[in-house]
Structure 1
Amino acid sequence: MIKGLEVNRSNQVWVSDITYIRTVKGFCYLALITDMHSRKIVGYDLSDSLELKGCVRALNKAIYQARNIKGLIHHSDRGIQYCSNIYTQILKRKKIGISMTEENHCYENAMAERVNGILKDEFYMDQTFTNTAHAKRAVKSAINLYNEIRLHLSLDYKTPNMVYKLTA
């Protein structure tokens, strides 16, 4: 659905993915929703399980903070969470278009994968955290720095939040 689409405004396409965050006791799962135009992380949730709840919380946060979602498309991989009836019903109820990658083609969700990499490589989200509470504080701080401080070459040296506010 988004292949070949010219994305020229915020809240036109959101990309979603889940990444692993390591703690001493195992893994946490960070569900992220990123605005494709501005690169802003518009919704996220860190959970201690891969259950649907974390993705739904991230989606609800993204919807809540958005001023205008008319014509919005939600793009994700075909993970069980994104294909679930509950998740897709939220999207349909809000009249958000649903786009998914073809099976096992992670390059079709490259922006979401890139954001995961930036958080891990530049904001130290690849370290092992003491516990979930420690990881949650670090994630909140990293996302704030990513959205508010980190300049992007692709955004003409602006922050994601600056670009999001200009075109939302």
Structure 2
Amino acid sequence: MTSVKKRKKFTPEFKRETVALITDQGYSIAKAAQAVGTTETNVRRWKVDLEAETGGDRLNNDERAELMRLRRENKELRLEKEIPKKGQRLLCERNEVKYRFIQDEQVYYPVTLLCRVMQVSTSAYYEWCGRSAEVIDSQTWQLCHRMKTLFAQSRESLGSRRLMALLRKEGFETGRYRVRQLMKKLGLAVKRKKRFVLTTDSKHKEPVADNVLNRDFAPVAANRVWTTDITYIWTLQGWVYLAVVVDLYSRRIVGWSIDRRMETALITRALMMAINLRKPAPGLLHHSDRGCQYASKDYRKLLEQHQMICSMSRKGNCWDNAPTERFFSSLKREWVTGNIYATREAAIEDVRAYVTYYNSCRPHSTLGDQTPIEFEYCA
């Protein structure tokens, strides 16, 4: 019985990027097909389809051509006024300097327009590009395409080391130096860190526990040590507060809760989620800061009910609960920074998405570049 060969499917983004090699980079159809690892017929069809999308469906050929001409002329007149004045001083420079300026600005303006303003011919510019740029091979193109996808999935938070780890898992043979070079060429820059305010309220009269954990962040098995803490997230409807429970063995988020009030009920829901999910044996070490919520009578009673040992950080010492603080730092730096949540519900959905990403997709250097779920199942 003969097997039926499955037809390879390409995403719309893949097709647009392939056509961009021709329209923006000056590749021929043959070179573009070779770079992305497909046939010339496919590339030619994708180019025709994308050009047809911009022309409209209800016009005949003559009307469509006239409309496109008028649009092009209006756009060129508008863009001629927007080209930065810094380019005018290059008119007296040699052509190679002008070509480099055109190459830098072609992401904002059409090449033909830039060439006309800089008083060089388009054919000469493309000839210069062909001499100075090398045609990338299929593997490099696929690597760059996957790098951009993973970087976007992480919301511009993956550095070269973690990005390299993910690529190696998918079978790409690459090193950190090469990944760093390609990230620079592709313009993949990690978002800057931002300082955040401490939320712990330790000025209370409730009893506090000793620091039993004592920064021993490497338990030998799951459900031996849990750490927990609270942070905040701003929305246009006001603050919301997030409580999480982390299993130190795998750094997995085993429980979390989010609410508009930072009360004992918030951390209780997070702990009960973890208990229902993991069903830990008696004797589990529960570590937190000295916040009034964790020192409250109701919460201490809940810990006693499930036979958990209570441990608390020293006053004003965030390093005693560093793994949980690290999760909050990653959440805000990688996911929340730059986002404006219109509602509290939007923030809750985004936190849920990050917890899923953190547990199942994000590699951890502490775990040998494995995700928390991978680490638990491979142990």
> Does TM-score exceed 0.5, indicating one fold?
yes
Q: Which residue of 1 aligns with 2:273?
A: 61
Q: Which runs of 5 or more residues in structure 1 are unaligned?
A: none
1:71: Cα distance to partner? 2.6
Q: Are residue 105 (structure 1) and residue 317 (structure 2) matched? A: yes
Retained in 2: the 8 A contact 1:13–1:75? yes
The separation in 2 between residues aligned to 1:164 and 1:79, in whole angstroms, is 30
How many residue pairs are counted as aligned between the two chains?
167
Q: Are residue 137 (structure 1) and residue 349 (structure 2) matched? A: yes
The separation in 2 between residues aligned to 1:126 and 1:91, in whole angstroms, is 37
1:44-75 Cα deviation digits (max 9, x unpaired) = 00101111111100000001101433331110
Q: Which residue of 2 aligns with 1:3?
A: 214
Q: Which moved more, 1:95-104 or 1:156-165?
A: 156-165
Retained in 2: the 8 A contact 1:31–1:54? yes
Larger Rg over CA atoms: 2
Q: Which residue of 2 aligns with 1:79?
A: 291
1:72-123 Cα deviation digits (max 9, x unpaired) = 1110000111001111111111011100011111111111100100111112
The separation in 2 between residues aligned to 1:123 and 1:60, in whole angstroms, is 26
Q: Which runs of 5 or more residues in structure 2 are unaligned?
A: 1-211
Retained in 1: the 8 A contact 2:226–2:247? yes
Going from structure 1 to structure 2, the CA distance change for 1:61 and 1:90 (only over 3 Å counts) comes to same
Amino acid at match of 1:10: A
1:24: Cα distance to partner? 0.7
Q: Are residue 43 (structure 1) and residue 255 (structure 2) matched? A: yes
Retained in 2: the 8 A contact 1:17–1:112? yes
The separation in 2 between residues aligned to 1:68 and 1:75, in whole angstroms, is 15
Q: Which residue of 1 aligns with 2:35?
A: none
After superposition, residues 15-54 of structure 1 pair within 5 angstroms as 15-54=227-266
Greater share of strand residues, 1 or 2? 1
Greater share of helix residues, 1 or 2? 2
| Runs of 4+ residues over 4 Å off in structure 1 | none
- Three-state SS of the structure 2 residue aligned to 1:129 is coil
Q: Which residue of 2 aligns with 1:127?
A: 339
The separation in 2 between residues aligned to 1:104 and 1:16, in whole angstroms, is 16
- Three-state SS of the structure 2 residue aligned to 1:116 is helix
Retained in 2: the 8 A contact 1:22–1:127? no
Q: Which residue of 1 aligns with 2:41?
A: none
- Three-state SS of the structure 2 residue aligned to 1:123 is helix
The separation in 2 between residues aligned to 1:15 and 1:131, in whole angstroms, is 29
The separation in 2 between residues aligned to 1:144 and 1:28, in whole angstroms, is 19
The separation in 2 between residues aligned to 1:65 and 1:134, in whole angstroms, is 25
Identical amino acids, percent of aligned pairs:
34
1:15-41 Cα deviation digits (max 9, x unpaired) = 111011110122100001111110000
| RMSD of aligned residue pairs (Cα, Å) | 1.6
Retained in 1: the 8 A contact 2:215–2:321? no
Q: Which residue of 2 aligns with 1:146?
A: 358
- Three-state SS of the structure 2 residue aligned to 1:154 is helix
